[in-house]
């Protein structure tokens, strides 16, 4: 297993409310900061709140991923997983958290 960093996301949609929206994985905390800054920098020029948007929720967590997931992450340095992808990888113990 390979250490990386895990960030939960949620989505807000006008008229529907808030729902879980997967996670992002990052090689290290610097790539996490860069990824988050890129997303939020793009939004700074918006004058109105969009009808639908996503945002981080909760703290960044250290996690461990399988070699196959880590190989993909090394190529991208940060990657986003949909809710069902995240849940499947956790269920299959391809992503684990040490308590």
Tens digits of residue pLDDT in 25-84? 999 999 999 999 998 887 777 777 788 889 999 999 999 999 999 999 999 999 999 999
pLDDT reported for residue 43: 78
Taking the C-alpha atoms of residue 47 and residue 39, their distance in angstroms, rounded to an integer, is: 16
Question: Per the structure, how many domains does the chain have?
Answer: 1
Which domain, by its residues, includes 61?
2-96
Residue 47 confidence (pLDDT): 76
Backbone CA torsion sign across 21, 26, 32, 36: negative
Q: How far is CA 19 from CA 13, 56, 65, 71, 79, in A?
A: 9, 12, 25, 29, 20
């Amino acid at each position: 297993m390979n250490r990386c960093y895990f960030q939960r996301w949620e989505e807000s949609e006008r008229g529907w409310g808030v729902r879980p929206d997967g996670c992002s994985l990052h090689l290290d905390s610097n790539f996490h900061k860069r990824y988050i800054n890129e997303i939020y920098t793009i939004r700074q020029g918006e004058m109105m709140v969009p009808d639908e948007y996503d945002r981080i929720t909760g703290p960044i967590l250290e996690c461990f991923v399988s070699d196959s997931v880590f190989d993909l992450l090394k190529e991208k340095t940060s990657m986003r997983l949909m809710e069902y992808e995240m849940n499947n990888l956790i269920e299959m113990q391809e992503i684990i958290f040490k308590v």
